[in-house]
Structure 1
Amino acid sequence: MPAQYDTDYKSVRIPIVVHKCDTFTCRLKGLMFRKQPLEQEGLWLIPCNAIHMFFMSFPIDVLFLDKKQKIVKTVSRIKPWKTQGKVKEAHSALELPEGTIEAYDIQEGDYILVDDEHEILLKRGRTMTVEDIENMSRDEERQQELSEAQKTS
């Protein structure tokens, strides 16, 4: 059976305003000591590959992103006083209101973009580069050669 490659993607706008947090002080404070849960807003910690929920009073969802903003790990409903250890591939973490991952069916492998209004655009699937397509063609040719060689043996 020939390999199938999904080069299409769907975009989903998530009405959550993202606040970028890329200074030491901002990342240090994060959401600590905040009394009210997140509602239609999120905090994007850059760089960040692990989080703690110390001094938090509400659960959140967290997306860990690589440098290309691909989701490499999702953490749903992490509770106060818990930790999420180091995520090796992660470059940043996006802290979101509890239930966001489930509500929008966000999955590892999806991409996150933040638009000009600081809202989230979720891209599902992946786009193919010319190099990806060339590599697939070479792999298919190799598979076909191996298959023909096995038939003649």
Structure 2
Amino acid sequence: MHTIGMMFPIDLIFLNKEKRVIHVEEYVRPFRISKVSLKAVSVLELPPHTIYSTGTQVGDKIEITPFPVSG
């Protein structure tokens, strides 16, 4: 995962196939490369300080639900 070409920092949450957090990186600045997590099947890119403000940590399970569409 990299932030090359980005203009602002982000938080990264690495998930395994069960959507469990296996690695987090907070406030990854632009033009950086994160650690490699070979067990990750997806990565959430979030606004900076999201991990801190939500208390997200390794071992947490993330619930991803569809956004309701009206109409």
Normalised TM-score (structure 1): 0.43
Q: 2:67 aligns with which of 117, 120, 126?
A: 117
Matched, 1:85 2:38: no
Higher strand share: 1
RMSD: 1.2
In structure 2, which of residues 23, 37, 58 is the aligned counterpart of residue 108 of structure 1? 58
Q: Which has the higher helix share?
A: 1
> CA deviation digits over 1:33-72, x for unaligned, max 9?
xxxxxxxxxxxxxxxxxx0110000000000000010000
Match of 2:44 among 69, 94, 106: 94
Identity over the aligned pairs, expressed in percent? 32
Query: Per the alignment, in what secondary structure is the counterpart of residue 63 of structure 2?
Result: strand
Partner Cα separation in structure 2 for residue 57 and residue 74 of structure 1: 20
Give secondary structure in 2 for the equivalent of 1:116.
coil
Corresponding pairs, count? 68
Match of 1:57 in 2: 7
> Which residue of 2, 18, 41 corresponds with 1:68?
18
Q: Distance in 2 between matches of 1:116 and 1:77?
A: 26
Ranges in structure 2 where 5+ consecutive residues have no aligned partner: none
Highest Rg: 1 or 2? 1
Q: What is the CA–CA distance in structure 1 between the aligned matches of 2:4 and 2:41, rounded to whole Å? A: 21
Residue type matched to 2:46 in 1? L
